[in-house]
Amino acid sequence: MPHSLPSSPKSTPKNGGNGITKFTNCRILKDNSLVEEDLWVNSITGKIIRSQAAFYDDFVLPNQVINLGGRILSPGFIECQLNGAFGFNFSTLLEPAVYAKKVREVNRQLVRTGVTSYLPTITSQRSDIYKRALPHLGPSGYRQVAEDGAESVGAHVEGPFLSPTKNGVHNVDVLREADTFEDLEDCYGPTNISSEDSYEPSPIKMVTAAPELGRMTELIPEVTARGIIFSVGHSEATYEEASKAVAAGATMITHLFNAMRPLHHRNPGIFGVLGMAESLPRPYFGIIADGEHLHPTTIKIAFNAHPDGFILVTDAMHMVGLPDGAYQWTNGDCTNHIVKKGPKLILEGSDRIAGSSITLIECVTNFLRWSGATIPQALRAVTSTPAAMLGMQGVKGCLDDGADADLVVLSEGLGQDEAELVIDEVWKFGTKVFSR
């Protein structure tokens, strides 16, 4: 894990102070509640610190005290499925220097939306795009500094080992099947999926694939052995096939309900594995709460089926933050257009949903309005739950001592007479990087 390494300073404190900030008069997210407690962070180590030890051992007082006036202090958000943003699509073939520059721009902009860690996602593509793009999308880990903005915790490759009949907007021509692990290496590039150096994790953190294709289910242990999350998605899997995948080590379901068989009472399909029928561990699952992909009630049912596995994702395309209109979308060989109309993205000439253009905080607000869930429950779906899914408990998605000091300050507003959460400030590694 890069996080256990001695790290370089995340930020140099201004005017030579000790870099310690105390947040007070705030409600911090702890487990399932908001508790009135102070929080101390250190911008030099980039961590949340044990204030009591700092006081008694090091005789330190905070350099600055931030009075949040009763507002909510949440861990920074973690986005597990982001295809692009602010005009840049991660599934693009570009000169390495240009590509890297575009990623850095996205990181700096993305952090303003409250997302402090994310998995840049590449949709089904030909092999050369993976091989060119993935080296730029790997985890930035200990190298990253606050001013760089949002941090990648590794790439999410959604495809191309997907079911041709559940392709969604993925290009059917590039979809393939795998019989051996070499087929995966061949597709993504060996160094992108396997890492020789344990300090340098491979760029890929999550693979979405259809387990029923080829011998994919048998390959799952090889994927997870590399510290990579296997997620079931874009799949025709029956309940039995999905259960087998879970037994083999799949711990996630990509955008539950979308691009999979609908729940049938005689075969509940992939959704059925949330029922804990076969005493298998229940996987985490992504939910797109944009009001287009899923009916609000469906979201509520999914949440109630397995609250601890519920993860809000945007599946947003690069049109996020751009005005309405038709946008070119290179999808393998063919160039399509996606029509953006408000938060809706529709593939031109069809009625297919082409991802979303929603932000994660909007998903949180939607979920709050639709489900009657509490604010802590909604925030957990973008903080501690994705962190647990990624095996990053204690580092990301929580406000425990020693965790990364990635923070979001939230106001409870009333938009259109309904509850709404608004991002007021974003802190990365103990340094303020955005304020409204």
Partner 1 sequence: MRLIIRDESEAASSYVANYIIDRIQHFNPTPTHPFVLGLPTGSSPLGVYKVLVEKYKAGLISFENVVTFNMDEYVGIPRDHSESYHSFMWKNFFSHVNVNPNNVHILNGNAPNLEAECVEYEAKIKRAGGIDLFLGGIGEDGHIAFNEPGSSLASRTRVKTLAYDTILANSRFFENDIEKVPKMALTVGVQTVLESREVVVIILGARKASALQRCIEQGVNHMWTLSSLQLHPHPMIVCDEDATLELQVKTVKYFKSIELVARQQGFEQILPSSIRTGPPIPKTVVDEVSDEVQSPTILAPQPMTSRLLRATPATEYPVRSVSPDLVPDRMADRVGVPDLARRLTPQPEQQQQRLASVGA
Active site residues: 315
Closest C-alpha to 409, from 1, 24, 2? 24
Of 56 and 199, which CB lies nearer to partner 1 in the complex structure?
56
HSE-up of residue 425 (Cα within 13 Å, Cβ side) = 16
* CB of residue 72 to partner 1, shortest distance in Å: 19
* CB of residue 38 to partner 1, shortest distance in Å: 6
293 is in an annotated binding site: yes
What is the 8-class DSSP label of residue 219?
H
Asked if 330 contacts 89 with a C-beta cutoff of 8 angstroms, the reply is yes
255 is in an annotated binding site: yes
Of 51 and 89, which CB lies nearer to partner 1 in the complex structure?
51
355 is in an annotated binding site: yes
* CB of residue 32 to partner 1, shortest distance in Å: 20
Asked if 150 contacts 116 with a C-beta cutoff of 8 angstroms, the reply is yes
353 is in an annotated binding site: yes
Number of continuous H segments (helices) and E segments (strands) in the chain: 11, 24
258 is in an annotated binding site: yes
Asked if 37 contacts 30 with a C-beta cutoff of 8 angstroms, the reply is yes
Instruction: Enumerate binding residues for partner 1 (CB under 8 A).
Output: 24-25, 38, 50-53, 55-56, 58-61
* CB of residue 62 to partner 1, shortest distance in Å: 10
Of 21 and 124, which CB lies nearer to partner 1 in the complex structure?
21
CA-to-CA dists, residue 325 to 67, 334, 382, 406, angstroms: 42, 19, 29, 34
97 is in an annotated binding site: no
Of 69 and 415, which CB lies nearer to partner 1 in the complex structure?
69
Tokens of 405: 């000091």
Long-range pairs for 12-19: beta carbons < 8 A, 24 or more residues apart:
12/44, 13/43, 13/44, 13/63, 17/63, 17/64, 18/42, 18/44, 18/60, 18/63, 19/43, 19/44, 19/45, 19/63, 19/430
What is the spatial distance between Cα 101 and Cα 87, in angstroms, rounded to a whole number?
Answer: 13
* CB of residue 430 to partner 1, shortest distance in Å: 18
266 is in an annotated binding site: yes
What is the spatial distance between Cα 28 and Cα 179, in angstroms, rounded to a whole number?
Answer: 48
What is the spatial distance between Cα 169 and Cα 334, in angstroms, rounded to a whole number?
Answer: 12
Of 55 and 199, which CB lies nearer to partner 1 in the complex structure?
55
* CB of residue 23 to partner 1, shortest distance in Å: 12
Of 57 and 351, which CB lies nearer to partner 1 in the complex structure?
57
What is the spatial distance between Cα 72 and Cα 329, in angstroms, rounded to a whole number?
Answer: 38
What is the spatial distance between Cα 232 and Cα 107, in angstroms, rounded to a whole number?
Answer: 27
Going by the annotation, the residues of the binding site for Zn(2+) are: 158, 234, 255
Going by the annotation, the residues of the binding site are: 158, 169, 234, 255, 258-259, 266, 293, 353-355
